[in-house]
């Protein structure tokens, strides 16, 4: 499968934080959920991919092209929603259309105004009068209106009510029907990702600790619930992380079927992305 | 590039209208006391300063970081500010000259300082712009005002120094020729600032 985005050995140092040689690939026609706790390095990774921050090491290829050498060409085909970064609030949505017509070769005014109508966004009101949810929808409408091939979205559904989130997710799913396209979606709302992501990439403390298809994760990974005495009999190599509560132990296992065969423990729950995040970050080894 | 300039125009149009009206009122008042041609400088400088305010508001809104995600280069983002600054300076001078002309016609008088205030408009706008634009890009928002004050102080100092050197050292006594030389130097300084800013300003975070 051809990749739309390739990140190889990306590293970037700040005081007190380091992105450590991260690598992952997003194949065409797929949505990748990019998860991790606050400060894990998601936004730094996205900013490096977009070449917003300088002085990073490593290689980023988008549509098979180097993101630094072919920056302008690449950006014609990328739609971006970044957390808290957009047009000045004094502008009107109709001004954005006039501006973007001169920025993108493929800007589609009809499509932009269609999104505004679909999202119930008034085109003659200043952005500062919009609610957070309306603003987010405007950012998404703007990101989609030049027929991009790759969407890079940092928290695109935060601040949206469940109905608006559903609308937005439907739009991303429609977008991915074109198999030449791809979506990199960073979000804290793991339920959204469980709904639409094909791949899950998990970053923690500047390192990629997991990058797999969602189906692999759901089929293979599991949470074992057992007593402390059962836990003491389990080989350390057979689980990734564990968490002890007052009454039971929870273990994150990579291959739940093999685990079941080996230990004869039947309480193995299907994993959710939220459980995965919590155990990966807060669990002990 | 046109999109970037349009964005700045839409961002500042409300402020420009208010600033423009205030300048006109102030300039007409001062023109009675000093000279009608003072209007030229009093309209040109505040209008060019609106570019400085757009750089500060871009930082506040994180527009510059968003702009880098668009198919525009960092050089274009910087150049758009230098072009807008020139545009507002020239437009301010034209409007100021028109108002000056109307005042002179209405009062049926002449003004011997027109050339001097034209020259000062170019010199002060371009020299200060050469410092203010890069300072606003590089300094944190809270220090932008200090950068602006420093730029105008430096401009006044440099202007006084140039006049002294040209008059006393080189021996040019004609004021118009002196202003022409300093105007030319200001244009060169502005172009150098533009070139260096494009090359050196890389971090918009």
Does the pLDDT at position A117 exceed 90? yes
**Angle, in degrees to the nearest 10, between helices B38-61 and B2-33:** 140
Q: Are residues A168 and A266 in the same domain?
A: no
Predicted pLDDT at B113: 78
Interface of B with A in 61-90 (CB under 8 A): 61-63, 65-66, 68-73
Q: Are residues A178 and A100 in the same domain?
A: yes
Between β-strands A57-62 and A150-154, what pairing exists: parallel, antiparallel or unpaired? unpaired
Based on the structure, what is the number of domains in chain B? 1
Does the pLDDT at position A40 exceed 70? yes
| Segments in chain A forming alpha helices (H) | 42-49, 71-75, 93-101, 109-118, 132-144, 162-175, 190-196, 214-220, 228-233, 256-263, 273-282
**Residues in chain B within 8 Å Cβ distance of A94:** none
Q: Which of B58, B63, B72 sits opposite A103 (nearest CB)?
A: B72
| Nearest residue to B116 (alpha-carbon basis) of B187, B36, B171 | B36
Based on the structure, what is the number of domains in chain A? 2
* Per-residue DSSP letter, A29: T
Q: Are residues A109 and A149 in the same domain?
A: yes
Q: Are residues A195 and A229 in the same domain?
A: no
CA distance B10 to chain A (A): 7
Q: Are residues A134 and A186 in the same domain?
A: yes
Of A185, A212, A239, at which residue does a domain stop?
A212
Q: Are residues A205 and A254 in the same domain?
A: no
Predicted pLDDT at B204: 64
**Residues in chain A within 8 Å Cβ distance of B62:** 84-86
Predicted pLDDT at B203: 67
Does the pLDDT at position B85 exceed 80? yes
Predicted pLDDT at B205: 59
Mean predicted lDDT score pLDDT of chain B: 84
Q: What is the mean pLDDT of residues B25-30?
A: 74
| Nearest residue to B89 (alpha-carbon basis) of B148, B120, B45 | B45
Number of H helices, E strands in chain A: 11, 14
- For residue B61, the enclosing domain spans 2-200
> What confidence category does residue B84 fall into, taking pLDDT thresholds of 50, 70 and 90?
very high
Q: What is the mean pLDDT of residues A135-146?
A: 91
Mean predicted lDDT score pLDDT of chain A: 87
ipTM: 0.81
In a domain, B205, yes or no: no
Q: Using the beta-carbon criterion (under 8 Å), do A52 and B68 form an inter-chain contact?
A: yes
Of A212, A236, A260, at which residue does a domain stop?
A212
Partner A contacted by B18 (CB < 8 A): no
Partner A contacted by B173 (CB < 8 A): no
Q: Are residues A167 and A119 in the same domain?
A: yes
pTM for this structure? 0.82
Predicted pLDDT at A96: 92
> What confidence category does residue A142 fall into, taking pLDDT thresholds of 50, 70 and 90?
very high
Q: What is the mean pLDDT of residues A229-233?
A: 80
Q: Are residues A172 and A85 in the same domain?
A: yes
Predicted pLDDT at B96: 86
Q: Using the beta-carbon criterion (under 8 Å), do A90 and B14 form an inter-chain contact?
A: yes
Does the pLDDT at position A143 exceed 90? yes
Q: Are residues A146 and A112 in the same domain?
A: yes
Q: Are residues A46 and A115 in the same domain?
A: yes
Lowest-confidence pick of A174-178, B15-19, B122-126, B149-153: B15-19
- For residue A246, the enclosing domain spans 221-282
Q: Are residues A206 and A258 in the same domain?
A: no
Q: Are residues A30 and A127 in the same domain?
A: yes
């Amino acid at each position: 499968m051809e990749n739309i985005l390739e990140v190889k050995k990306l590293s970037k140092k700040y005081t007190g934080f380091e992105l450590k040689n991260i690598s992952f690939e997003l194949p065409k026609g797929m949505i990748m959920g990019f998860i991790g706790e606050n400060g894990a390095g998601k936004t730094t990774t996205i900013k490096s991919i977009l070449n917003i921050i300088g002085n990073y090491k490593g290689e980023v290829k988008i549509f098979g092209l180097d993101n630094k050498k072919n920056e302008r060409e690449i950006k014609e085909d990328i739609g971006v929603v970044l957390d808290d970064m957009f047009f000045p609030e004094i502008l009107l949505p109709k001004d954005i259309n006039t501006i973007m017509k001169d920025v993108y070769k493929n800007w589609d005014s009809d499509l932009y105004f269609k999104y505004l109508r679909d999202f119930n966004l008034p085109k003659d009101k200043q952005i500062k009068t919009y609610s957070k949810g309306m603003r987010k929808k405007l950012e998404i409408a703007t990101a989609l209106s030049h027929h991009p091939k790759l969407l890079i979205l940092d928290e695109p559904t935060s601040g949206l009510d469940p109905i608006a989130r559903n609308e937005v997710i439907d739009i991303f799913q429609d977008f991915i029907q074109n198999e030449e396209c791809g979506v990199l979606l960073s979000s804290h709302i793991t339920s959204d990702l469980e709904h639409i992501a094909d791949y899950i990439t998990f970053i923690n403390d500047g390192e990629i600790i997991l990058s797999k298809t969602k189906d692999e994760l759901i089929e293979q990974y599991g949470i074992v619930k057992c007593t402390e005495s059962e836990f003491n009999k389990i080989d350390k190599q057979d689980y990734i992380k564990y968490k002890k509560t007052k009454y039971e132990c929870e273990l994150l296992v990579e291959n739940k079927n093999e685990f079941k065969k080996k230990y004869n423990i039947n309480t193995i729950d299907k994993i959710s992305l939220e459980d995965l995040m919590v155990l990966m970050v807060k669990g002990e080894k | 590039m046109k999109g970037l300039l349009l964005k700045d125009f839409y961002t500042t149009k409300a402020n420009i209208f208010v600033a423009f009206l205030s300048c006109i009122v102030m300039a007409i008042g001062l023109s009675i006391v000093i000279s009608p041609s003072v209007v030229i400088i009093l309209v040109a400088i505040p209008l060019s300063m609106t570019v400085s305010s757009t750089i500060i508001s871009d930082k506040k809104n994180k527009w510059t970081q968003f702009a880098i995600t668009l198919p525009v280069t960092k050089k274009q983002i910087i150049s758009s500010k230098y072009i807008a600054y020139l545009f507002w300076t020239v437009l301010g001078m034209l409007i100021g000259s028109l108002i000056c002309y109307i005042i002179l016609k209405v009062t049926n008088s002449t003004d011997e300082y027109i050339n001097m205030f034209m020259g000062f408009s170019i010199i002060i706008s371009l020299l200060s712009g050469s410092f203010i634009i890069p300072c606003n890009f590089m300094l944190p928002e809270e220090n932008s005002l200090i950068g602006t004050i420093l730029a105008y102080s430096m401009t006044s100092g440099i202007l006084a120094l140039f006049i002294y050197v040209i008059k006393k050292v080189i021996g040019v006594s004609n004021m118009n020729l002196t202003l022409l030389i300093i105007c030319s130097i200001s244009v060169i300084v502005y172009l150098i600032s533009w070139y260096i800013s494009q090359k050196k300003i890389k971090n918009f975070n």
